[in-house]
Homo-oligomer: A and B are copies of this chain.
Amino acid sequence: MPTSTESDLDRVAERAAAVARAFAATEPRARAAALVAVADALDRNAAELIAIAMRETGLAAPRLIGEVRRTSNQLRLFAEAIVDGAYLDARIDAADPEYVIGPRPDVRRVLEPVGPVLNFAASNFPFAFSVAGGDSAAALAAGCPVVVKAHSGHLELSRRTAEVVVEALAGAGMPDGVFQLIEGQQNGVALLKDDRIRAGAFTGSTHVGRLLADIAATRPRPIPFFGELGSVNPVYATPGAIAAEPELLQGFLTSVAGSAGQLCTKPGFLFVPAAAELGGLAEAAEAVGEHRLLNPGIGRAFEERRGAVLGADGVVVLAEGAVRVDEDGQRFVTPTVVEVSVEALRAQPEALLEESFGPLSVIVRYPDAAALPALHRELFPGNLTSTVHATDAEAGELGDLVEALAETSGRVLFGGWPTGVSVTAAMQHGGPFPATTTDATSVGTAAITRFLRGVAYQNAPAALLPEALRDDNPWGVPQRRSEAGRSSEWGTLTGIH
C-alpha cells in the first residue's frame, strides 16, 4: 500500500477517521487478543522478515532476532497492560447533595482514545521502533487507528511487516482500516497537517523531530506530538568504580560499539577521575570488527560528526577507528574514542557536545567530583539516560549528582550501561527536551497514556454510559469510587504534618 498522491493520502486519512469510532468501542479484552495475534504473526514470520531486515539495514542476525522477540513481547506486554481495563482510570463520583462546594452531580470519568495516530518509524530499530513497534503497540492498545510512515531505510521490510500486522488484526476481528502504511517524508508531513490525524509520534533525529513537532504545534488545530529525538547519555565513573570494576572500560566499549553505536541510548560521554588509568581501551577498540551503518545518509552524517570531533582543539585520540565507503555509498566503521578536558568540552559545544549517531564516544577527565552536579546541569539539560558507576561505599556522597541526573534525564542507571532498554511497566524512555519533545515515555506500558484523553459524563443514564463507567461494570474494570459525604472528612487533613 505505498502511497504517493494527494488522493491516496486523503483516502488514508478518511479510512483512519472512519474506523476510529468502531475501534474505540472495542472491548480492551478484544484489543488485547488482537495485539497477541499480531505478536504471534510476527514470530511466525520472523525468519522471512529478519532476512529482509539484514539486507536493508546491515544489522546482524543476533541483534535482529533479539529485536523481533522484543517487538512481539512488547505487543504481549501491552495486551497484558490493557486486558483488565485499569488503564482506563475509571473514576465515579457519586452525586452528593451535601458536597462542600455545593450539590455535586453524578460525575464519571474515563480515558478514551484520542483518534487516528500518525507514527514516524525509526531507521535504527526496523522492528521495535518501526511498523509494529512501540508507538504502534501503544496506540492500538489505546484504541486509536494507526498510520505508520515507513522509514525509507527499510521499505520492503515495512511493507511486508504491515501486511503481517493488517492480516493478524483482521483475523482477530478488528475493523478494517485500523492499521495503514504510507511512504515518503513529504507524505508524512502532509498527513501530519491533516485535521483527521489527532496525535503524532516519532523516533529519529533532533533536526527532523523538531521540525515535525513545530508542524504539529502550529497546525490550525494543534495536536500532541511525541518525538524521541537526541540523547548523549553521559556516564559518570567514580574513583571507587575505576578501581573496583576492572571490566568497566570493556563494558563501555561494548555499549558504544553495539549496533555500531546507532542507538539513542549509546553512552556518548564517559566522565572519569583525572588520574584514571585507561589502559587496554585502544586494544579493545581495535578488536571490534567493522560494522555497516544503517544507510548512506546516516553514514555521511556520522563521518561529518566524527571529523568535527577529531578536528576539535585539545582532543586526544585513544582509538581512532576507521570509516570505509563502498561503491553504494554505504559506510563501514570501527569505534572511535577520544579524550578531552572539561575546558575543551565547554569551549567547543558544537563540535563536541552534539550527538554522534554511530560508534563514537568522548572520555572526559574531571579534576573535581564535587563539581560534577553543576557541570552536568550546564552541559546536559535533557537526556534519555544518565549513568553512575560507583561503589556502595560511595553512595553517601552521590546525592547531589543523582538529583542533577534525575532532573535532566528520564532514566538514571547505577552500574551497567544505558543501551538495551527493557520493556516493562516501570520503564521511562523519554526525558527533558531534546531527549523527547514532551516528557512522555515511548517505551513501557506507561506509553499508552500518550494516546488517551479524559472524558467526563454527568448524570448520564446507564444506557448511555461507556461500559467502563456503568454500575453493573460489564467489562469488570477497576472503578475508583468517591461516595457522597466524603468531603466532610477533608477537615481532618488539618491534623497532618
Contact = CB atoms under 8 A, between A and B. Distances in A.
A91 interface: yes
A374 interface: no
Contact of A107 (B409, B426, B455): B426
B217 A218 contact: yes
A460 B399 CA distance: 12
For chain A, the bracket of interface size reads 35 or more
Contact of A73 (B73, B100, B480, B482): B100
Contacts of A213: 217, 222
Contact of A424 (B93, B218, B423, B437): B93
A248 interface: no
Contact of A426 (B93, B115, B427): B93
Contact of A92 (B69, B89, B420, B426): B426
A159 interface: no
A105 interface: yes
Interface string A437-480: 11111001010000001111111110110100000000000001
A439 B453 contact: yes
A70 to B, nearest CB: 4
A30 B497 contact: yes
Interface string A107-126: 11100101100000000000
A79 interface: yes
A11 interface: no
Nearest to A461: B395
Contact of A221 (B381, B441, B459): B381
Contact of A414 (B73, B218, B415, B458): B458
Contacts of A415: 459
A246 interface: no
B425 A454 contact: no
Interface in A285-319: none
Interface stretch (A266-274, A346-354, A487-495): A487-495
Contact of A428 (B66, B109, B464, B482): B109
Given A413-B459, A427-B109, A480-B425, A464 B402 contact: yes
A458 B221 CA distance: 39
Interface stretch (A32-40, A174-182, A275-283, A361-369): A32-40
A414 B104 contact: no
Given A101-B73, A221-B382, A439-B114, A414 B454 contact: no
Given A416-B459, A464-B399, A454 B441 contact: yes
A105 B418 CA distance: 11
A107 B441 CA distance: 14
A66 B490 CA distance: 18
A185 interface: no
Interface string A381-416: 110000000001001101100110011011111111
A105 B426 CA distance: 11
A397 to B, nearest CB: 10
B493 A80 contact: yes
Given A21-B407, A36-B493, 14 more contacts: A69-B100, A70-B101, A70-B102, A73-B100, A73-B101, A76-B490, A92-B426, A93-B424, A108-B426, A213-B217, A395-B461, A412-B455, A416-B459, A426-B482
The 4 A-B pairs at the shortest CB distance, nearest first, are namely A439-B453, A217-B217, A428-B456, A91-B426
21 contacts: A32-B493, A33-B496, A69-B101, A73-B487, A77-B487, A91-B446, A105-B416, A105-B422, A221-B433, A224-B438, A396-B463, A398-B464, A406-B455, A410-B455, A410-B456, A412-B457, A414-B458, A414-B459, A415-B459, A416-B458, A427-B456
